[in-house]
Amino acid sequence: METMGDLLEKVKEFATKDFSKDDAEKLFGWKVTDMVARNPEENKTTITMTFENGLVLDAFYFLHPALAELGDNTEFTIRLKTDLTSRIRYTSSTQPTSTARAI
Query: pLDDT digit string (tens) for 69-90?
Result: 777 788 889 999 888 777 777 6
For 86, the domain range is 4-102
Residue 99 pLDDT more than 60?
A: no
| Cβ atoms 58, 69 nearer than 8 A | no
Q: Is 60 exposed, middle or buried (0-12, 13-18, 19+ CB in 10 A)?
A: middle
Residue 102 pLDDT more than 60?
A: no
Number of domains in the chain: 1
pLDDT band at 1 (very low <50, low <70, confident <90, very high): low
13-70 pLDDT, tens digit per residue, is 888 777 889 999 999 999 999 999 888 888 888 999 999 999 999 998 888 777 667 7
Q: Determine the angle formed by the axes of helices 4-14 and 21-28, rounding to 10 degrees.
A: 150
| Cβ atoms 54, 82 nearer than 8 A | yes
